[in-house]
């Protein structure tokens, strides 16, 4: 059973053949790729919101190599230790779907998995991993699931809305929030910026009960130019490279980079 909800009226959606429909007769067709578009026009700033196709392709190519699997394992190990299956698990801002897919591999088929991203291109790519995951195009400010229906919400490197998180989670549910610390990918920052500025992370902390919070730091080796370039392309830093620094893209060497994250588990 799934707990999809209509983004217009928030009534539960029922699947009828190749369409989802609510009691108010709002209909949403399931695409040939198997996802459902639940993104309303008022919930998007322009026609193609979300990450660019170039960034998504680079992200998929990089993540498929397993470099960031240690981050995923931090999330799935917590779920294994603190929750009993079956679970309703939502990957918020899932992008091209790698973490959602790998979470299912780690946690098993007993759970129901949802992947939500505002980018239609990202969700279209995600369906190639696993068609049994419920893939949705939607906005994190209007999450199309029923009230208090999710056991776990994973939010890795994505924008969240605290009101929606509180609405969607069960009373004993929790969110695993992964955010970048100041030294995350510091080696790349030094390559492309004249001055590395330190930003406060105060605005990304959530006003919820903290079940667990810790820093996760790890060095990873990226042996090839192609993989290093894909890592750069999947970050916002790629779009901030000054003209005089563009030559780095052709000469980017193999790298040892720092993963520096804050992993916080919240319960509203």
Is 146 annotated as ligand-binding?
Answer: no
For every residue of 100-143, DSSP letters joined together read HHHHHHHH-TTSEEEEEES-HHHHHHHTTT-TTSEEEE-BTTB-
Q: What structural domains and CATH numbers belong to the chain?
A: 14-267 (3.40.50.150)
d(CA 177, CA 8): 27
Check if the beta carbon of residue 196 is closer than 8 Å to that of residue 184.
no
Six token digits for residue 239 = 């779009």
Six token digits for residue 110 = 């007993």
Check if the beta carbon of residue 187 is closer than 8 Å to that of residue 221.
no
Structure confidence at residue 17 (pLDDT): 93
Is 110 annotated as ligand-binding?
Answer: no
Structure confidence at residue 46 (pLDDT): 62
Is 22 annotated as ligand-binding?
Answer: yes
Structure confidence at residue 243 (pLDDT): 76
96 CB-near residues (< 8 Å, 6+ apart): 56, 59, 60, 63, 122, 125, 126
- For residue 61, give the H/E element and its range: helix 53-63
Strand bridging mode 112-117 / 88-92? parallel
Is 9 annotated as ligand-binding?
Answer: yes
Is 106 annotated as ligand-binding?
Answer: no
Q: Per residue of the chain (268 residues), give pLDDT as tens.
A: 789 999 999 999 999 999 999 999 999 999 999 999 999 976 665 667 788 899 999 999 999 999 999 999 999 999 999 999 899 999 999 999 999 999 999 999 999 999 999 999 999 999 999 999 999 999 999 999 999 999 999 999 998 999 999 999 999 999 999 999 999 999 888 888 878 877 767 668 899 999 999 999 999 999 998 999 999 899 888 877 887 777 777 777 778 999 999 999 999 9
Six token digits for residue 266 = 């919240």
What letters, b where the CB count within 10 A reaches 16 and e where it falls short, cover 199-210? eeeeeeebebee
d(CA 165, CA 267): 9
Is 190 annotated as ligand-binding?
Answer: no
Is 68 annotated as ligand-binding?
Answer: yes
Is 97 annotated as ligand-binding?
Answer: yes
Structure confidence at residue 200 (pLDDT): 67
Structure confidence at residue 241 (pLDDT): 81
Structure confidence at residue 89 (pLDDT): 98
């Amino acid at each position: 059973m799934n707990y999809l909800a209509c983004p217009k009226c928030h009534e539960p959606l029922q699947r009828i053949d190749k369409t989802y429909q609510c009691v108010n007769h709002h209909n949403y067709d399931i695409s040939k790729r198997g996802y459902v578009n639940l993104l309303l026009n008022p919930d998007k700033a322009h026609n193609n919101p979300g990450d660019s196709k170039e960034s998504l392709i680079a992200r998929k190519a990089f993540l498929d190599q397993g470099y960031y699997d240690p981050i995923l394992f931090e999330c799935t190990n917590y779920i294994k230790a603190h929750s009993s299956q079956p679970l309703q698990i939502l990957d918020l801002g899932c992008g091209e779907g790698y973490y959602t897919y790998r979470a299912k591999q780690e946690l098993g088929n007993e759970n129901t998995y949802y992947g939500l991203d505002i980018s239609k291109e990202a969700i279209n790519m995600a369906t190639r991993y696993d068609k049994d995951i419920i893939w949705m195009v939607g906005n994190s400010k209007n999450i199309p699931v029923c009230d208090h229906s999710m056991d776990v919400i994973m939010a890795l490197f994505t924008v969240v809305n605290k009101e929606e998180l509180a609405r969607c989670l069960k009373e004993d549910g929790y969110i695993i929030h992964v955010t970048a610390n100041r030294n995350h990918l510091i080696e790349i920052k030094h390559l492309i910026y004249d001055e590395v500025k330190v930003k406060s992370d105060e605005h990304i902390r959530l006003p919820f009960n903290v079940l667990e919070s810790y820093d996760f730091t790890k060095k990873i080796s990226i042996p090839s130019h192609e993989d290093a370039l894909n890592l750069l392309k999947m970050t916002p830093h790629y779009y901030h490279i000054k003209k005089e620094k563009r030559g780095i893209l052709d000469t980017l060497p193999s790298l040892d980079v720092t993963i520096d994250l804050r992993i916080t588990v919240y319960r509203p």
